[in-house]
Structure 1
């Protein structure tokens, strides 16, 4: 790993927060897609 010096904690925390936000956005997108699919299937069933 590269030497980040005295900023190592700050840089690693920034990476951690960024990864957590990206994972959260992906999860939210997948969940919204599933909800939309269920709603569309329900609409198709009941015309």
Structure 2
């Protein structure tokens, strides 16, 4: 069921879209940083 947003539809949906994109970006960045840290730790442990 879609809520009727009237004249506010564009700004509200744009804000939701930008928010969702930022959250997805933060999740991707966090996972990538975790993978880099894991690889760095494995390299240090392997050497040491």
Point out where structure 1 has 5 or more consecutive residues left out of the alignment: none
Where does structure 1 differ by over 6 angstroms across 4 or more consecutive aligned residues? none
Give the TM-score, by structure 1 length. 0.99
Root mean square deviation, CA, Å? 0.3
Partner of 1:35: 36
Report which structure shows greater RCO (CA 8 Å, sep ≥6): 1
How many pairs does the alignment contain? 47
Deviations along 1:1-47, one digit per CA (max 9) or x if unpaired, are 01000010000000000000000000000000000000000000001
